[in-house]
Amino acid sequence: MISNLPDRIFLCGFMGAGKSLIGHKLAEKLERTFLDLDDKIEEKAGQSIPEIFDETGEAGFRTLERRALQEVIREFEGVVALGGGSLQNQHMVDHIKLNGLLVFIETPISVILDRISEDQNRPLLLDEEGNPKDRAQLKEELTALYEQRLPLYQQAVITISNEGQNPDKIVQTLLKKIRNHVEYY
């Protein structure tokens, strides 16, 4: 067990980075509770994320996400998988870092595309009619969005690469990085 762990460890990264899978495994190893922020949003709204997007658009979803995150910061202790767009601005990044350890799961866009391109539960991957976007359009749009969010992700205290390797190995490396961080600070 690692002593001096912060109350919350937040995992950030782009959609499809593996935040939920790695978060579950990390929480298990740390003997902490795991929470996926998207699940919390769905629970509070009583709707799925695609339904929220349909009804309120991305702006409405981001408002719900921000409220859910603020509640998590106040009431939850454990490992939290953030949504890909949870780090909406500098204020949000600073607030998260003041209230826990922020970890960036860095994943190449090519790996992300392979993982999520067929997932119809991700509203940003669908066109106005609700059909999946073609791969070329998806790659262009996701690359632009990734590059826009990257400066916020890169402010994480710890970065770990996820290029499609074994999640258990990633968690072992992450545990070492967390241990080194909390022992140093």
Q: Please report whether residue 3 resides in a domain.
A: no
Helical segments of the chain, H only? 19-30, 37-45, 49-75, 90-98, 109-116, 135-153, 167-184
The number of distinct structural domains making up the chain is: 1
**Is residue 162 in some structural domain?**
yes
Residue 131 pLDDT > 80: no
Residue 147 lies inside a defined structural domain of this protein: yes
- Stretch 18-41: mean pLDDT: 96
CATH number assigned to the domain comprising residue 88: 3.40.50.300
- What's the gap between Cα 182 and its chain centre? 21
| 54-90 confidence digits (pLDDT tens) | 899 889 999 999 999 999 999 999 999 999 889 988 9
Distance CA(106)–CA(11), nearest Å, equals: 10
Average pLDDT, the chain: 90
The predicted model gives 158-163 an average pLDDT of: 94
Q: What whole-number distance in Å separates Cα of residue 137 and Cα of residue 73? A: 36
Greater confidence (136 vs 19) lies with 19
CB 119, CB 125: distance < 8 Å: yes
| Cβ-contact 22, 92 below 8 angstroms | no
Boundaries of domain holding 131: 8-184
Q: Is the dihedral of CA 172, 175, 181, 183 positive or negative?
A: negative
The DSSP symbol for 154 reads T
Q: pTM for the full model? A: 0.91
Cβ(56)–Cβ(50) below 8 Å:
no
Residue 9 tokens read as 């460890």
Summarize pLDDT for 2-15 with one digit per residue, the tens. Answer: 778 899 999 999 98
Cβ–Cβ < 8 Å for 160, 177 = yes
95: in domain: yes
Task: Answer for the pair 116, 16: CB distance below 8 angstroms, yes or no.
Answer: yes
Residue 118 lies in a domain: yes
2 belongs to a structural domain: no
Which residues make Cβ contacts (< 8 Å) with residue 15, sequence separation at least 6? Answer: 83, 84, 112, 116, 122, 124
Residue 1 forms part of a structural domain: no
Mean pLDDT across the stretch 104-114?
91
| CA–CA separation, 185 and 64 (whole Å) | 33
Nearby residues of 140 by Cβ (< 8 Å), 6 or more positions away: none
